Chains A and B, each alone.
Chain A
Amino acid sequence: MTNNIITVSHLKKSFKDNQVLKDVSFSIKKGSIFALLGSNGAGKTTTVRILSTLSKPNGGKASVCGYDVVRQGEKVRKCISLTGQFAAVDEVLTGRENLSLIGQLIRLPNVKEKVDYWLTQFRLEDAANRQVSTYSGGMRRRLDIAMSLMGNPQVLFLDEPTTGLDPQNRLATWEMVKGLANEGTTVFLTTQYLEEAENLADNIAILHEGRIIAEGTPSNLKEKMPQRGAQISFSSEKEAAKAMKLLIDNGIAVNGIEPNLPTLEDVFLTLVGEKKEGENHA
């Protein structure tokens, strides 16, 4: 229990008649990467907003860094940083001014050094003195995350950090997240991309219609799939055809055999029990 930096139990939240979170429980180990996976409207952002003290739950409990998110919001805010779905940057200010503003607000002793450090880390030195309105989507996202890291938070919330990013910037973001976790920051990210969760997370929770329907490591989740087949692979199609014949006749020449593990996508779709609507969610 003691090395869980986030504990959530039976969290509930509704907006008027709409029950967004019905019963959400999970816990996150210190220094790990946790992915909350779900389709649009599953309640991912609501969960992040409650954990980052922006919204109050209607029921259940949640603690971050050992502090209750409702009663000890001020203490929680000191140990977290949030990068929301929409870039939280000032468009008319420059990248440097944006970072410097955050540094001053959290009363860093060495704002200038920190600003330079993060500008370099996120390859923004050249654009540092340009207004953010001239930045590309990827640069904006990098600045956004840099602003979140200025205060060296223990927990970083990333709400759909790669939505709308091109593949190159997505990979860069993944590298950055892995780097942060290596240095001991706990990363809580939400995503609708299974590939992302699988690639990054130590633990994944699948949120669907306000409930956690599965939780575990990526490989754990895959093992939960009931129907596991097997697959034999050959070096060429021709060989395979021949081999099949030979197999039938003599039972030889199989190049390799491996279990047919489902992808996380299969797990997700089986659990959720709904047809995939296409890759391009908003």
Chain B
Amino acid sequence: MHDAWIMIKRSMLIVLRSPEAMAMAIITPFFLMVLFGTVFGNIADIGPYNYIDFIVPGIVLQSVAQGTQYTAVNVYNDMSKGIIDRFRSMPISKASVLTGHAAASIVRNTITTAVIIGTAFIVGFRPQGGFTDWLIAAGILTLFNIAISWMAILFGLLSKTPDGAIGFMFPFFILPFISSGFAPIETMPRWLRWFAEYQPMSPVIDATRNAMMDFPRDNSLWWALVWCIGITVFAFTCAVQVFKRRTV
């Protein structure tokens, strides 16, 4: 635990020294939100509530995906430079360097998520959920955050170039578009509908939205939990295995 804590401090410093990562994770989604919420908001007919209220969960996921690219790059950088050999030749816990990056990623994403939700209020976001609803929303977003952070670590370990690390993470930015994030799934062409319905972003978005807007809870909450925990277990296990294999 001691080693992991020092590594978390290290990774946090790295995050703080590249403020562009935070900025990118906030600026792009923010403009998307303004653009969609104001320009398209008037023509989007999604029922009795505002379009901005509809898209906030999707925007948050995009923001998290964008910021997490940098986690993959940071892991790639560690693995490709001499620093990893230094850590591995020291009497410290080997995986602590990964734990450090994961924790820093989760903290950074939590901050950018808070900023995105905060700025959403400026452009007209009016959530209806009560305290419990917000706890649920925060819980789901945090689980998603953990899952995507470990995916980024796995991809960072697998990448051969820094661009590769970013490329691996790019689909996570696109996936919310092909989900229930920006348009109700029922409005999509049939072939896309199937994909949109069963990919992990949709239940995460639906469950978050239901909580934020005080809609009735449905199955999406359980599917969101299953996906997030499943992805975390998968990514964590693979990451540790890949990391160990690269020791020989």
Q: Which residues of A contact B (CB under 8 A)?
A: 49, 52-56, 74, 77-78, 80-82, 84-90, 92-93, 97, 101-102, 104-107, 131, 144, 147-148, 151
Contact = CB atoms under 8 A, between A and B. Distances in A.
Given A88-B82, A92-B13, A107 B2 contact: yes
Given A55-B248, A74-B91, A97 B86 contact: no
Interface of B: 2-3, 6, 9-10, 13-14, 17-18, 81-83, 85-92, 247-248
A77 B17 CA distance: 30
A101 B90 contact: no
B3 A86 contact: no
A55 B89 CA distance: 10
Contact of B82 (A81, A86, A107): A86
Given A104-B6, A105-B92, A84 B14 contact: no
A282 to B, nearest CB: 16
Contacts of A53: 88-89
B83 A89 contact: yes
A148 B82 CA distance: 12
Contacts of A80: 89
A107 B93 CA distance: 13
Contact of B14 (A78, A93, A106): A93
B248 A85 contact: no
A93 B13 contact: yes
Closest 5 CB pairs of A and B: A88-B82, A86-B82, A88-B86, A92-B17, A82-B89
Nearest to A104: B6
Given A74-B91, A92-B13, A92-B17, A82 B86 contact: yes
Nearest to B247: A54
Of B10, B14, B247, the most chain A CB neighbours within 10 A belong to B10
Nearest to B2: A107
Given A53-B88, A81-B89, 17 more contacts: A52-B85, A54-B85, A54-B89, A55-B248, A74-B91, A84-B82, A85-B82, A86-B81, A87-B81, A87-B82, A89-B82, A92-B14, A93-B10, A93-B13, A105-B6, A106-B92, A147-B86
B13 to A, nearest CB: 6
B78 to A, nearest CB: 9
B83 A77 contact: no
Given A56-B248, A93-B14, A105-B6, A88 B81 contact: yes
Nearest to A15: B248
Contacts of B82: 84-89, 144
Contacts of B91: 74, 77-78, 106
A82 B18 CA distance: 28
Contacts of B3: 105
Nearest to B15: A92
A80 B92 CA distance: 13
Contact of A92 (B6, B18, B86, B89): B18
B83 A90 contact: yes
A45 B89 CA distance: 14
B81 to A, nearest CB: 6
A102 B130 CA distance: 46
Contacts of B92: 105-106
Q: Which of B2, B18, B85, B87 has the most CB of A within 10 A?
A: B85
A92 B104 CA distance: 15
B248 A101 contact: no
B84 to A, nearest CB: 8
Contacts of B10: 90, 93, 101
Contacts of A78: 91
B6 to A, nearest CB: 5
A82 B13 CA distance: 24
Nearest to B93: A105
Nearest to B92: A105
A77 B90 contact: yes
Contacts of A55: 248
A87 B87 CA distance: 13
A131 B17 CA distance: 9
B86 A93 contact: no
A85 B82 CA distance: 7
Nearest to A87: B82
B190 to A, nearest CB: 49
A144 B82 CA distance: 10
Contacts of B247: 54
